[in-house]
Structure 1
Amino acid sequence: MPDAPFVSSAFLRTLVAHAQGCGLPVERLVQQAGIARAWLEDQHEIPALAVEQLLYAFEAAGAGRSFGCELVPGMATSSLQGLNILLDSATTVRASLECFIRYLPLVTNCVQVSLEEAGCTAVLHLRRYRHQPHYYMLDAAVLSLVRNIARRAGKPPAQMFSQVSLTRLQAAGDCLQGWGVATVEGPWPSLHLVPHALDLPLPGANPFLHQRMLRQCQGTTLADERKDSLQLARHWLAAGDQPIERIAERLGYRQPSNFIRAFRKQFGVTPKQFRLAGALAL
């Protein structure tokens, strides 16, 4: 069956620290959401629905509409668990975004991120996975992406993004417009890059560091790397918006049949059977 939605304990710690700074009764609200305090201490995969309950509790307890926007500094420092180092050290914006899309499911699978290209333009989509995240989480994700992508390219956000689509409840519009980025309403958050943005080199590119971080993300052995790749395949199959052949290609399989055999050996079902089982469970 498809993996349950989760977020990292690092992101939960960011939420709790900010809520404490806002004067919210964090201890009581964390307990009400069914979140064990031990989950805050080490590296854990926290059930996304429990985090959603906590965010709604924060909102009911008086957290303002901009609560998610205010999470951005914490997102940049700890929530991605070192993933930012990998993204910063890539050679181009395209390479950085490809790493982000590939390895974000190791940190959280609450959103399905995809890059849509048309000619010289590109759009980064953040679609829901199993359920729509609270708008606090979406605001934090959108503003962090806009700020960090622009920072990596060494340009202000207005020179990297032509517009950003936001869902109806999101509050990130004022911040984005303050950065000179136009906003429109859409069914999910979408970041529209300016023409040729993907080809821009990153001033902080460091091939040695990048390869080191890649090895850390992929694991130290070929067997570990294949296992991680198949776990990513489960996430992409559950999201349901990519053909199986495309997933096989993204994971480095030259022939889809090789991917199907590896997947069946690991999980006991074919990718198609796994996807159908997930669809029936929704």
Structure 2
Amino acid sequence: MPDAPFVSSAFLRTLVAHAQGCGLPVDDLAEQAGIHRAWLEGQYEVPALAVEQLLYACEEAGAGRRFGCELVPGMATSSLQGLNILLDSAATVRASLECFIRYLPLVTNCVQVKLDTSASTAVLHLCRYRHEPHYYMLDAAVLSLVRNIARRAGKPPAQMFSQVRLTRQQAAGEWLQRFGVATAEGHWPSLHLVPQALDLPLPGANPFLHQRMLRQCQGTTLADERKDSLQLARHWLAAGDQPIERIAERLGYRQPSNFIRAFRKQFGVTPKQFRLTGVLAV
């Protein structure tokens, strides 16, 4: 029996925070959509249809066409904490994408991604799962993929994508054209990578870390994952080549202050104190 479509509570929090920033009556809209307040706390698989109802309610309440595009900066949330590290540490773009496609259902199955390598160039197809996603959701998915794939390869989006096809309703074309990426209309979104893009090595490749994160994605609990990611933070802090804010971002913390609290709770000192002294509280 297929799983019911769901969206992570972290994405829901991103959506709600952005709606609040737009001045929308979020509490009323969430109630109309059947969103439970408990879903905004912790880690939950929120029914995708309820999130879709909230998106439609936001649209009716005055959210503009670019609402989904504007969600992208908030997409690096705790729901992607382990997944981001896994994708960053892969050896090549191909390995990173294969992991993304395999483990995306840990975050959401609302939008599925398939990689087609039958043509001369590789194409990422976005597919629906048992319902038609609101175009806000599709805009957020497309722009997140374009931005993150290009970032991992260390190249501008225009050097990674020859074309991106969008549905008629989507507003992401404006952003893609700013990146220098050609767009066209399609029945479903698809991202066309330039030749040899899949074979590009990733600057952040780390075989040991990649295998470690693979093991986590294959069966550890969220608590174990968070504890392990904080252990990783210790190594990055000791290396001293990344700002604390960047480390927090790489581990999926939306706010550096949340990372600092979690680190202090785990180790008894702040990240800055550990970086300066290299000593953990006993």
- Shorter-chain TM-score category? 0.7 to 0.9
- CA gap of 1:90–1:69, structure 2 versus 1, over 3 A, is same
Separation in 2 of the partners of 1:104 and 1:184?
A: 26
- CA gap of 1:188–1:30, structure 2 versus 1, over 3 A, is same
Separation in 2 of the partners of 1:175 and 1:150?
A: 14
**8 A contact 1:76–1:144 mirrored in 2:** no
Q: How does 1:101-116 map to 2 (within 5 A)?
A: 101-116=101-116
Separation in 2 of the partners of 1:133 and 1:141?
A: 11
**8 A contact 1:89–1:204 mirrored in 2:** yes
2:190 matched to which residue of 1? 190
Number of residue equivalences: 221
1:79 Cα deviation from its structure 2 partner? 4.5
CA deviation map 1:116-175 (0-9, x unaligned): 003551000001111111000100000000000000000000000000000110000000
2:94 matched to which residue of 1? 94
- CA gap of 1:220–1:106, structure 2 versus 1, over 3 A, is closer
**8 A contact 2:11–2:77 mirrored in 1:** no
Answer with 7-16 or 212-221: which moved more: 212-221
Percent of aligned pairs sharing the same letter: 87
Separation in 2 of the partners of 1:45 and 1:182?
A: 35
CA deviation map 1:5-43 (0-9, x unaligned): 100001000000111111110111111111110011011
Answer with 117-126 or 197-206: which moved more: 117-126
**Counterpart amino acid of 2:68?**
G
Matched, 1:156 2:156: yes
2:134 matched to which residue of 1? 134
- CA gap of 1:119–1:30, structure 2 versus 1, over 3 A, is closer
- CA gap of 1:120–1:200, structure 2 versus 1, over 3 A, is farther
Matched, 1:166 2:150: no
Over 3 Å off, 4+ runs: none
Q: Secondary structure, in 3 states, of the residue corresponding to 2:76?
A: helix
Q: Secondary structure, in 3 states, of the residue corresponding to 2:75?
A: helix
Q: TM-score, structure 2 length as denominator?
A: 0.76
Separation in 1 of the partners of 2:77 and 2:33?
A: 25
2:9 matched to which residue of 1? 9
**8 A contact 1:55–1:136 mirrored in 2:** yes
Separation in 1 of the partners of 2:151 and 2:90?
A: 13
**8 A contact 1:7–1:48 mirrored in 2:** yes
Separation in 2 of the partners of 1:195 and 1:84?
A: 25
Q: TM-score, structure 1 length as denominator?
A: 0.76
Separation in 2 of the partners of 1:85 and 1:31?
A: 35
2:59 matched to which residue of 1? 59
CA RMSD in angstroms comes to 1.3
Matched, 1:118 2:83: no
1:216 matched to which residue of 2? 216
Q: Secondary structure, in 3 states, of the residue corresponding to 1:118?
A: coil
1:84 Cα deviation from its structure 2 partner? 1.2
Answer with 211-220 or 200-209: which moved more: 211-220
**Counterpart amino acid of 2:212?**
R
Unaligned 5+ runs, structure 1: 222-282
Answer with 9-18 or 112-121: which moved more: 112-121
